[in-house]
Amino acid sequence: GEDLVVLGIETSCDDTAAAVVRGNGEILSQVVSSQADLLARYGGVAPKMAEEAHSQVIDQVVQQALEKAKLTEMDLSLGVHKARKIAGKFNIPIVGVHHMEAHALVARLMEEELRFPFLALLISGGHNLLILAHDLGQYVQLGTTIDDAIGEAYDKTARWLGLDMRRGGGPALEELAQEGDADSVKFSVPMKQHKDCNFSYAGLKTQVRLAIESRNVNTEIPISSANCIDRSARADIAASFQRVAVLHLEERCERAIEWALNLEPSVKVLVVSGGVASNKYVRTRLDELVKKKGLQLVCPPPSLCTDNGVMVAWTGIEHFRLGRFDPPPPPDEPEDTV
């Protein structure tokens, strides 16, 4: 019912996040602890390292989320990165949530009127998906990446351009691109000859690397330093990369809309979510396309596009309502079976 209160825990990539959400969609608390700083130093997500970083902050993150939601009566001295242990201790049901499903469904938290079926473009560091969501749990994949995801291309490009990775490569690149001329470097749009809805970003990554090398851009000097000699050359590469990376999204989405309308003529919405959906240029370009095709774009606010606990809690709520959950685990479940 509407007095449902759900704790969502998200640790699948480089952020440790938790949130408490009510059945009616009210967000009671939201806490995110980023490992971007750590990753900037080591150049990517090393699973072992990420796991250790999660375990260092998870107690704190969950405790904060519960406190902000005024759920202080729960004492969380135990290893709370194991949601099963919490569920066992407090004798509450548990829902396992698929990360990408959560990215898509959080759109239904903010947009109460968003009904199935809808089309979803999910763009993150590891995934690039076009999904036709018929109903809760009924998803048809229209397209995926055959190599890298767009977020990976943003991150590598940012790194090669010597940008400050501490806030994440995507946001840094988006900012620099605003200063550049998007027509200055001629990158080709991937997979033009493939008339499907799949994606490819590995080739574009290579094009960018070659462009940087051939221009002798000195990426040893950090972009932030004053009077940086090739700031404008780097901005041109950033802008040109972004234009083509997003053109690829536009082309695939345009085709996916046609496919989706053939399968489900009642589709009215394209949801765009995942970390890269927090990019303003991405949002603007896709909004234009979607309007041109007579549909509506639904894009969660940036804090709900990047990894967060709210989307996990909300997806838990959606499944719980339809009776799709596991019973509380035994309270004293041994550590190694979790």
Q: Where does this chain bind ligand KG4 (CB under 6 A)?
A: 13, 124-126, 151, 154-155, 168-171, 174, 274-276, 278-279, 306-307
Q: Are 71 and 20 in contact (CB under 8 A)?
A: yes
Cα 77 from Cα 45, distance rounded (Å): 28
DSSP labels, 60-115: HHHHHHHHHTT-TTS---S-TT-HHHHHHHHT--B----HHHHHHHHHHHH-TT--
Contact partner, 309, from Zn ion, ligand KG4, none, Cβ < 5-8 Å per class: none
Shortest CB 311 distance to Zn ion, Å: 8
233 C-beta neighbours (distance < 10 Å), count: 20
Q: Which is nearer to Zn ion, 239 or 313 (CB)?
A: 313
Shortest CB 126 distance to ligand KG4, Å: 5
Cα 37 from Cα 223, distance rounded (Å): 17
Q: Please report how many Cα atoms fall inside a 13 Å half-sphere around the Cα of residue 226, on the Cβ side.
A: 0
Q: Are 117 and 269 in contact (CB under 8 A)?
A: no
Peptide bond preceding 222: is omega within 30 degrees of 0, i.e. cis?
no
Q: Which is nearer to Zn ion, 152 or 307 (CB)?
A: 307
Contact partner, 148, from ligand KG4, Zn ion, none, Cβ < 5-8 Å per class: none
Tokens of 299: 């894009």
Q: What are phi and psi of 175, to 5 degrees?
A: -65, -45
The stretch near Zn ion (CB under 5 A) out of 48-56, 141-149, 227-235, 302-310 is 302-310
Cα 299 from Cα 319, distance rounded (Å): 22
**For Zn ion, which residue has the nearest CB?**
124
Q: Which is nearer to ligand KG4, 117 or 151 (CB)?
A: 151
Q: Which is nearer to ligand KG4, 143 or 168 (CB)?
A: 168
> Does 34 interact with Zn ion (rule: CB under 5 A)?
no
Shortest CB 298 distance to Zn ion, Å: 17
Contact partner, 126, from ligand KG4, Zn ion, none, Cβ < 5-8 Å per class: ligand KG4
| Nearby residues of 337 by Cβ (< 8 Å), 6 or more positions away | none
- Of the candidates 65, 246, 78, the residue with the CA atom closest to the CA atom of residue 153: 246
Cα 91 from Cα 89, distance rounded (Å): 6
Q: Which is nearer to Zn ion, 124 or 128 (CB)?
A: 124
Q: Are 151 and 274 in contact (CB under 8 A)?
A: yes
Q: Which is nearer to ligand KG4, 50 or 276 (CB)?
A: 276
The percent helix, strand, coil of the chain (3-state, each to 5) is 45, 15, 40
Shortest CB 234 distance to ligand KG4, Å: 16
Binding footprint of Zn ion, residue count (CB under 5 A):
2
Q: Which is nearer to ligand KG4, 259 or 314 (CB)?
A: 314
Shortest CB 258 distance to Zn ion, Å: 27
Contact partner, 154, from Zn ion, ligand KG4, none, Cβ < 5-8 Å per class: ligand KG4
User: Contact letters (x/-) for Zn ion, 93-132, by CB under 5 A?
Assistant: -------------------------------x--------
Q: Which is nearer to ligand KG4, 160 or 259 (CB)?
A: 160
Among 307, 310, 311, 329, binds Zn ion (CB under 5 A): 307
| Nearby residues of 132 by Cβ (< 8 Å), 6 or more positions away | 117, 119, 120, 139, 140, 142, 259, 260, 263, 264, 267
The stretch near Zn ion (CB under 5 A) out of 205-213, 241-249, 253-261, 307-315 is 307-315
Q: Which is nearer to Zn ion, 128 or 242 (CB)?
A: 128
Residues of the shown chain interacting with Zn ion in the complex, contacts defined by CB under 5 A: 124, 307
